[in-house]
Amino acid sequence: MRPLFIVLEGPDAAGKSTQLELLAAELSRRGIDVVTTREPGGTDLGRALRGILLDPRRRIEPLAELFLLLADRRQHVEELIKPALAEGKWVISSRYTLSSLAYQGYGRGIPMETVRRLNEIATGGLSPDYTFLLDVPPEVALERAGETDRFEAEGLAFRARVREAYLQLIKSVPNGYVIDATRPPEEVCRRILAHLPLA
């Protein structure tokens, strides 16, 4: 079977990192070679960019923010995602192109067409095989959130906008599914696995 590229999306504190681990463990148990990664920060360059992007003391203009995220994405696709898939490994990434549409498009107000076109350039057209939106109400996400980075410092209104954006956007994503992430982690993982073409 062809290796799959799977993306987990959702607001901060939706449990993406936990699901990344649970999913990878379950797939490995089934003998699948899995690489887990995230955006921003899946590569060495990406980790440096993540530091800049999340620093709450830094002021970053919306389009500049998008360009930094796209630089991270481009490097991620070329250095990690494509080579891993070419080696037959499955790749699970926390966040990808949909995050930019939700946060920089709907959230920051950059025209959606601009974000779409730039995403296309950054990824060279590489789309996920499956996208899972881990959905939690903004109040729950806010309650769960730990430290405050530059994005988490945004208020409830921004978070609500991002959630609505995700719920709209996922409808037009091929193999895109909404998963209720207020459920216990093991159940969330089971619901994700149920959509995957596993023997």
Residues near ligand TMP (CB under 6 A): 12, 16, 38-40, 69, 94-95, 99-100, 103-104, 151
d(C-alpha 22, C-alpha 36), whole Å: 11
Measured from the CB atom, the residue of 39 and 135 that comes closer to ligand TMP is 39
Q: Specify burial of residue 142 (Cβ count, 10 A radius: 0-12, 13-18, 19+).
A: middle
- Residue 67 vs 177, nearer CB to ligand TMP: 67
Q: Which residue is nearest to ligand TMP (CB)?
A: 151
State the nearest-atom distance from the C-beta of 151 to ligand TMP, in Å.
Answer: 3
Whole-number minimum distance, CB 69 to ligand TMP, in Å? 4
* Encoded amino acid at 171, one letter: K
Least CB distance to ligand TMP at residue 83 (A): 20
Spatial CB neighbours of 76, under 8 Å, sequence gap ≥ 6: 37, 39, 42, 43, 46, 93
Pick 32 or 78: Cβ nearer ligand TMP? 78
In angstroms, give the least distance from the CB of 147 to ligand TMP.
10
Q: Nearer Cβ to ligand TMP, position 182 or 197?
A: 182
CB of 30 to ligand TMP, least distance (A): 26
Between 3 and 10, CB nearer to ligand TMP: 10
Q: Using only C-alpha atoms, what is the Rg of the chain?
A: 16
Give the Cα separation of 176 and 125 in Å (integer): 17
Distances (CA, A) of 134 to 22, 83, 88: 14, 27, 26
